[in-house]
């Protein structure tokens, strides 16, 4: 039995394969037939880690939904019941809550990997944009999930974020009331957030499939940013990258377990263990860490509508990166000037995150404004201008040539040619 | 390229590589099984449900020949104060006639009080017979309207598809007029 290079001696596999060629499909997409660049470093492991994090969130989320009650009077108590009474409820909820952080951590590294190695450039622009849509949906899902426990932070996060829409001129007030299903955040808001919090992850899962589909058309970028030229440049996905992904998964789960079992509430806020009170706002209200840079941009603009626009623009601008970066060289490795600005951007986003966590007073106002301005300057000015002016380092003609040069010195050079 | 060369020498390294495969697979299987257990166990009765496991009943208001239904662990429990005829009927039944042979004395603590879980042992319906207007079946106990099982005055199945007698919950007389179920 042979179908597109796939062989199996197992009769059941053959029976299924003849009717639905799923085994050969998997073999071609994530198996021995899928040829991936042979020089991928560990930064290329975060896509699979993010995918596994999504699966963990969906599985634990479905389980939590079996016990959670989406009603303003019962939501908080039902979460406490999960923590105290449901068998392993504490474990499942802590995995879900910290899993969001682990998911974002993996995705942020994944995005910054793409920014450094120019993974968004031709012909992977759509791949990049699909990833950004996933990222935006993740933020919406995480926010709505944070509202569900119906503690003080939940309630006031819902109030603050939905009020962003009230900044829209003329329609703002009626739009927010439409979002709330009332005149304030209440049970109608909670139930729709619950419904969407359950739905969107499956939309994300669908987009992940498109993301992988688009990835497999032109295959992974690689640390050199040089396209694969032939079989010498690649190795089979299985077993080489499956085992590498499995190894990084082990480390990922160990860090995950560290949070879940030793500091399960470190990334949350104690105020969320106080039931929601619509008549009192907590003294210091901040979002979860993964939303802090955007929160800082929101607060940096001293105008309600301006802040909302700036925050939206900080995300929208990422969609334009494939065209704002004017350099044809993909990998930052060969771009001495870009490389320095890249690390400045990383530092800038970290500063924004720190500013977002601090109360909006004193030096943090100025710091937030400078960091916000620099964020936009990086994408709108530095990225296009550096691309024009920079003189890149010499690019190896192929992956195997570069590998031969660094690891085997003279041997491979004559065969691989130019 | 060294990895590919090693791949070709697969047979000569067979035992070592096989060991690694089996070890990886075993670790993954055991780890997955351990990880899946909490996801399954969360569907078992939770602590707050288990906390409602015992119920006390005051018997003073029940007249001879009368029955009441109370809820224990979410299930109906039948408490019937039997008449002397019913007791006699239950006690003098030939065990040969019973699909699930059991003496009446094994099913009651005090002959007057019959305490049963009111769930038909066939497919879980609640048999009729608690009220005066209910049909009580051919043996004067209970009759299940779903699939026609008949129970006698000791709650033992006599006819119909039910495989077992109505079960007796664990209970205790705390005083002469109070029992605790569970």
CB atoms within 10 A of CB B143: 21
Does ipTM surpass 0.85 in this model?
Answer: no
pLDDT at A207: 98
| Four-residue CA torsion sign, A406, A407, A410, A416 | negative
Contacts of A92 in chain B (CB under 8 A): 38-39, 42
Cβ-defined contact of B42 to A88 (cutoff 8 Å)? yes
CA-atom Rg of chain B in angstroms: 28
Q: How confident is the model at residue B182 (pLDDT cuts 50, 70, 90)?
A: confident
pLDDT at B12: 52
Round to whole Å and give the CA distance between B70 and A297: 62
Q: How confident is the model at residue B2 (pLDDT cuts 50, 70, 90)?
A: very low
Q: Among A39, A87, A244, which would you mutate to test the B interface (most chain B Cβ atoms within 10 Å of its Cβ)?
A: A87
Averaged pLDDT score across all residues of chain B: 88
Q: How many domains, in total, are found in chain B? A: 2
- Put simply, whether B95 touches A (Cβ < 8 Å) is no
Our answer to whether residue A245 is catalytic in this structure is yes
Q: Looking at the structure, do residues B126 and B143 belong to the same domain, yes or no?
A: yes
Q: Looking at the structure, do residues B97 and B164 belong to the same domain, yes or no?
A: yes
Residue B6 has pLDDT above 50, yes or no: no
Do A287 and A297 form a contact (C-beta atoms < 8 A)?
no
Residue with tokens 């999930």: A145
The Cα of B49 is separated from the nearest Cα of chain A by a number of Å equal to 8
The Cα of B41 is separated from the nearest Cα of chain A by a number of Å equal to 6
CB pairs under 8 A between A and B: 41
What average pLDDT does range B159-176 have in this prediction? 93
Q: Which of residues 237-256 of A touch B (CB under 8 A)?
A: 240, 246
Contacts of B37 in chain A (CB under 8 A): 88
Residue of B nearest to A400 (CA): B1
Element (H, E) at A402: helix A399-407
Q: Looking at the structure, do residues B24 and B95 belong to the same domain, yes or no?
A: no
Q: Among A88, A242, A409, A416, which would you mutate to test the B interface (most chain B Cβ atoms within 10 Å of its Cβ)?
A: A88
| Tens-digit pLDDT profile for residues B7-28 | 554 555 678 888 988 998 999 9
Q: Looking at the structure, do residues B117 and B155 belong to the same domain, yes or no?
A: yes
> Which CATH number belongs to the domain containing residue B82 in this structure?
2.102.10.10
Residue with tokens 């009111």: B118
Q: Looking at the structure, do residues B35 and B60 belong to the same domain, yes or no?
A: no
Q: Looking at the structure, do residues B82 and B166 belong to the same domain, yes or no?
A: yes
Residue ranges making up the domain that contains B66: 49-181
Contacts of B39 in chain A (CB under 8 A): 59-60, 63, 88, 92
Q: Looking at the structure, do residues B90 and B20 belong to the same domain, yes or no?
A: no
From-to residues of CATH 1.20.810.10 in chain A: 34-405
Do B118 and B177 form a contact (C-beta atoms < 8 A)?
no
Q: Looking at the structure, do residues B39 and B53 belong to the same domain, yes or no?
A: no
Closest CB from B3, B24, B42 relative to A63: B42
Residue of A nearest to B42 (CA): A87
Q: Looking at the structure, do residues B10 and B76 belong to the same domain, yes or no?
A: no
List the CATH code of the domain at A34-405: 1.20.810.10
From first to last of its 418 residues, what are the pLDDT tens digits of chain A?
445 678 888 999 999 999 999 999 999 999 999 999 999 999 999 999 999 999 999 999 999 999 999 999 999 999 999 999 999 999 999 999 999 999 999 999 999 999 999 999 999 999 999 999 999 999 999 999 999 999 999 999 999 999 999 989 999 999 999 999 999 999 999 999 999 999 999 999 999 999 999 999 999 999 999 999 999 999 999 999 999 999 999 999 999 999 999 999 999 999 999 999 999 999 888 899 999 999 999 999 999 999 999 999 999 999 999 999 999 999 999 999 999 999 999 999 999 999 999 988 889 999 999 999 999 999 999 999 999 999 999 999 999 988 776 544 444 333 333 3
Q: For A144-174, give one letter per residue: b (16+ CB within 10 A) or e.
A: bbbbbbbbbbbbbbbbbbbbbbbbbeeebee
| Tens-digit pLDDT profile for residues B125-145 | 999 999 888 899 999 999 999
Q: Looking at the structure, do residues B40 and B62 belong to the same domain, yes or no?
A: no
Q: Looking at the structure, do residues B60 and B34 belong to the same domain, yes or no?
A: no
pLDDT at A414: 39
Cβ-defined contact of B46 to A246 (cutoff 8 Å)? no
Among A71, A216, A219, A232, which one carries the catalytic annotation? Answer: A216
| Four-residue CA torsion sign, A135, A138, A143, A146 | negative
The Cα of A122 is separated from the nearest Cα of chain B by a number of Å equal to 30
Picking from A132, A136, A138, A161, the residue whose alpha carbon sits closest to that of residue A58 is A138
Q: Looking at the structure, do residues B28 and B79 belong to the same domain, yes or no?
A: no
């Amino acid at each position: 039995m042979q179908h597109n290079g796939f062989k199996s001696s197992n009769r059941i596999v053959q029976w299924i394969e003849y009717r639905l060629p799923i085994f050969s499909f998997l073999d071609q997409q994530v198996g021995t037939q899928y040829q991936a660049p042979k020089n991928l470093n560990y930064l290329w492991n975060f896509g699979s880690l993010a995918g596994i994090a999504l699966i963990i969130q969906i599985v634990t989320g479905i389980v939590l939904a079996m016990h959670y009650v989406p009603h303003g009077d019962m939501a908080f108590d039902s979460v406490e019941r999960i923590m105290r009474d449901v068998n392993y409820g504490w474990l499942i909820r802590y995995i879900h809550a910290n899993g969001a952080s682990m998911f974002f951590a993996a995705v942020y590294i994944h995005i910054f990997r793409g920014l450094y190695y120019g993974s968004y450039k031709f012909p992977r622009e759509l791949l990049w944009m699909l990833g950004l849509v996933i990222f935006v949906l993740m933020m919406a899902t995480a926010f709505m999930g944070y509202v569900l426990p119906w503690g003080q932070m939940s309630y006031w996060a819902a109030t603050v974020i939905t009020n962003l829409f009230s900044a829209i001129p003329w329609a703002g007030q009626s739009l927010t009331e439409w979002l709330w299903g009332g005149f304030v955040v209440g049970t109608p808001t909670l139930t729709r957030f619950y419904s969407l919090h359950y739905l969107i992850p499956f939309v994300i899962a669908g987009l992940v499939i498109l993301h992988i589909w688009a990835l497999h058309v032109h295959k992974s970028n690689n640390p050199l940013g040089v396209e694969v030229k032939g079989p010498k440049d690649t190795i089979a996905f299985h077993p080489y990258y499956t085992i590498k992904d499995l190894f990084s998964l082990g480390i990922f789960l160990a860090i995950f377990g560290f949070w879940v079992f030793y500091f399960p509430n470190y990334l949350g806020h104690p105020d969320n263990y106080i039931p929601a009170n619509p008549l009192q706002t907590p003294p210091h209200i901040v979002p979860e860490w993964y939303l802090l840079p955007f929160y800082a941009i929101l607060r940096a603009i001293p105008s309600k509508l301006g802040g909302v626009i700036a925050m939206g623009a900080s995300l929208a601008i990422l969609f334009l990166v494939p065209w704002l970066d004017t350099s044809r060289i993909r990998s930052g490795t060969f771009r001495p000037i870009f490389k320095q600005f890249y690390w400045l951007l990383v530092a800038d986003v970290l500063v924004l995150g720190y500013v977002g966590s601090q109360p909006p007073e004193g030096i943090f106002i100025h710091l937030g404004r400078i960091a916000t301005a620099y964020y936009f300057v990086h994408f709108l000015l530095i990225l296009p201008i550096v691309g024009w002016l920079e003189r890149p380092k010499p690019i190896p003609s192929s992956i195997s040539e570069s590998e031969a040069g660094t690891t085997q010195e003279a041997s491979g050079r004559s065969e691989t040619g130019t | 390229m060294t990895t590919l060369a090693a791949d070709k020498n697969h047979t000569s390294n067979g035992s070592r590589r096989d060991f690694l495969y089996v070890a990886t697979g075993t670790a993954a299987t055991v780890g997955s099984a351990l990880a899946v257990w909490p996801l399954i166990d969360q569907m078992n009765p939770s602590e707050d449900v288990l906390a409602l496991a015992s119920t006390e009943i005051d018997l003073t208001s029940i007249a001879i020949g009368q029955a009441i239904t109370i809820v224990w662990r979410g299930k109906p429990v039948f408490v019937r104060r039997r008449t002397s005829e019913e007791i006699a009927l239950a006690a003098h039944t030939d065990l040969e006639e019973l699909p699930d042979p059991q003496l009446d004395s094994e099913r009651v603590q005090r002959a007057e009080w019959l305490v049963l879980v009111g769930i038909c042992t066939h497919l879980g319906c609640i048999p009729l017979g608690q009220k005066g207007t209910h049909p009580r079946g051919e043996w004067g106990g209970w009759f299940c309207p779903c699939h026609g099982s008949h129970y006698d005055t000791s709650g033992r199945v006599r006819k119909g598809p039910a495989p077992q007698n109505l079960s007796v919950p664990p209970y205790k007389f705390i005083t002469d007029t109070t029992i605790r179920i569970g």
